[in-house]
């Protein structure tokens, strides 16, 4: 929890620092990625593009519609969450000998890491399902940042999930909430099954489930997969990395794909201006 609170506090303080140095005079020719921002593109990607100081990344400014989803309100809530997580970690340190966390599969008294991890998996599954079902779709959230084919005009839209195997294409935005909903539901069932049923003592000792180092080292696989996919989409570009927020990818820049797309788009609109 301390690790999560440090990440939450750092991201909120970094966003507030970027807001102080932000030049909001021209968001078209001086976008946020040219100003060296780091946290602002990520928070803008999940639908936070408005500020209480009456400026926005897009041309539409609707402060009444997104009153709670603003650049100032979200980091303030994260700062309060960081403090609550620190208090919760202190409580867990003081009451770490609860029976719900004790393991009976070993001769000595130890923590039931299998149950502890699956409790955290249960909470993360609820967040994953709620993010895809409510936040992106607009049921309880601002939606997400979407862009056109040429990454020129971007705006916030409500993306509805498409629960269809045939429609699971990497070129559509509907797979993003669909994947979050499916992954959250599967993880929810897995966490409930692992929390209610414990493995046999032989399997428990064979897989070193009582060893904290073994449990933490297995999580590196999931973190590596997430970082690998994020780095690949940032390098080659995808729907999850619009150019208005993160800038032109290195792959597009080296192959001059962005300039060719802009010239082709301009030729279709004004054919005489190109010739």
pTM of the model: 0.76
Evaluated on CA atoms 49, 55, 60, 65, the torsion sign reads positive
What confidence tens digit (pLDDT) does each residue in 39-75 have? Answer: 898 898 888 888 888 888 876 555 455 567 888 888 8
**Contact, 154 vs 58, CB < 8 A?**
yes
Please say whether the beta carbons of 195 and 144 come within 8 A. no
- Residue 137 CB coordination number (10 Å): 19
In the chain, the percentage of residues whose pLDDT exceeds 70 is 80
Cα 74 from Cα 140, distance rounded (Å): 15
Q: How confident is the model at residue 107 (pLDDT cuts 50, 70, 90)?
A: low
Task: Answer whether residue 100 shows pLDDT above 70.
Answer: no
pLDDT for residue 168: 57
Cα dihedral across residues 264, 266, 269, 272: positive or negative: negative
pLDDT of residue 242: 83
More confident call, 258 vs 225: 225
How does pLDDT run across 135-166, given as a tens digit for each residue?
988 888 888 888 877 677 788 888 888 876 66
Backbone φ, ψ for residue 12 (5° rounding): -70, -40
Phi, psi (5° rounding) for residue 45?
-70, -30
Predicted local distance difference test score (pLDDT) of residue 80: 92
The CA–CA distances, whole Å, from 167 to 139, 145, 148, 265 equal 22, 21, 19, 27
Least confident window among 75-89, 195-209, 253-267: 253-267
- What confidence tens digit (pLDDT) does each residue in 228-255 have? 887 887 787 777 788 888 888 777 777 7
Q: How sure is the predictor about 273, in pLDDT bands with cuts at 50, 70 and 90?
A: very low
For the chain, the average pLDDT equals: 78
């Amino acid at each position: 929890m301390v690790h999560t609170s440090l990440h939450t506090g750092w991201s909120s303080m970094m966003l507030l620092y970027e807001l102080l140095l932000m030049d909001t005079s021209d968001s078209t020719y001086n976008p946020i990625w040219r100003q060296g921002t780091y946290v602002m593109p990520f928070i803008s990607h999940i639908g936070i593009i408005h500020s209480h100081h009456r400026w926005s990344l897009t041309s539409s400014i609707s402060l009444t519609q997104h009153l709670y989803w603003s650049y100032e309100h979200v980091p303030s809530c994260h700062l309060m969450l960081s403090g609550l997580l620190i208090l919760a970690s202190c409580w867990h340190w003081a009451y770490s000998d609860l029976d719900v966390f004790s393991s009976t599969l070993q001769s000595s008294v130890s923590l039931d890491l299998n149950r502890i991890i699956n409790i955290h998996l249960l909470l993360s599954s609820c967040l994953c399902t709620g993010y895809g079902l409510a936040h992106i779709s607009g049921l309880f959230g601002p939606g997400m940042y979407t862009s056109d084919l040429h990454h020129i005009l971007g705006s916030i839209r409500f993306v509805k999930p498409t629960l269809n195997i045939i429609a699971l294409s990497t070129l559509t935005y509907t797979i993003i909430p669909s994947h979050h909903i499916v992954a959250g539901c599967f993880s929810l069932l897995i966490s409930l099954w692992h929390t209610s049923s414990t493995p046999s003592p032989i399997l428990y000792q064979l897989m070193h489930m009582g060893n904290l180092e073994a449990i933490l080292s297995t999580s590196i696989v999931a973190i590596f997969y997430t970082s690998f996919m994020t780095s690949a989409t940032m390098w080659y570009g995808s729907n999850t990395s619009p150019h208005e927020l993160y800038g032109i990818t290195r792959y597009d820049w080296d192959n001059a794909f962005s300039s060719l797309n802009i010239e082709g788009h301009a030729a279709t609109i004004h054919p005489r201006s190109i010739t």
